[in-house]
Structure 1
Amino acid sequence: MKKLTFILKLGFFPLLILILSAFSNINSVEEGVSYLQKSFASHYDLGQESDQIKRYELNVTNNGFCRYKRFYINGKTEYFAFKLSKFKDLDYFGSTETGKLYLHTKGEDVIVQTYRDRGGDVDSMATQIIIPIKNIQPEDLNLIKENLRELSSKF
């Protein structure tokens, strides 16, 4: 009987660890997405485009997408989106006060759509999304990059 109890205990603990690690992975994805969403929202610089852009939407979703939508004053809309699993690297050009964040993908993985443009609606693909950023420190950029890399491996 003691031998059976011992064998059951040996099987129970690895199973418990497996179950707990499965739930911790979900939390880390949600935490990473939440961090990116908050970072993009707090550092977005509408002032760089305020004479052209009426409003914008910048979202990182729990199902692994980064979406950026700009609504122009003249009615034109631009939409950019890519799957986080396609993230390759990021670059930042500017100072700690203002600059542009370039999110690069592995290939032409960024969906680009324009609506109500003078040249007509256009669907195309790109290799990067450019986001205007303000008030960002190098440590924040490193954390954004780290979260994007971690999430890209999970989706």
Structure 2
Amino acid sequence: MNEPIRTQWQIRCAFNGYCKRALQNEMLAAKRDIKRRQRREVTFSDLTSQEEKQLFVCDQYFTDDEAEKSFVIAGKEITAKLLAEALHSLPEEKREAVLLYYFFDMSDVEIAKLHNIPRSTVQYRRTSSFELLKRYLEEHAYDENDW
């Protein structure tokens, strides 16, 4: 016995029914997962202070002088504190050009637009700052052999 040929309409209805059933099953599975997760979840207001402290970590960078990181270049010890002092020794406009360029990844053109000055002025401030930084670090850095 041959099965009667299904019409396009019947095939479409069967496929729609299959899709609807699949979507319903997915919805039920999602609801079940959400309920399972909600049973295990705890709101922040329900946590004890001990449990709250386990949720975060505080970094302790440069809290004491012994822990301060340094590096030695050409026999001179350079510390983060010394580098910060060297940057603070620069005139404000030069310091700002250096910080914006190297720490905020701004181009000379962007810095020039920000301050309404020519791009060449920004480049001069930035490059001339290196000579000042170099002199400051040479004068104030500790020799490795001085220890």
Same fold (TM over 0.5): no
TM range (shorter): under 0.3
User: Between Structure 1 and Structure 2, which shows a larger proportion of strand residues?
Assistant: 1
Please identify the structure whose Cα radius of gyration is greater. Answer: 2
TM-score calculated relative to the size of structure 1? 0.26
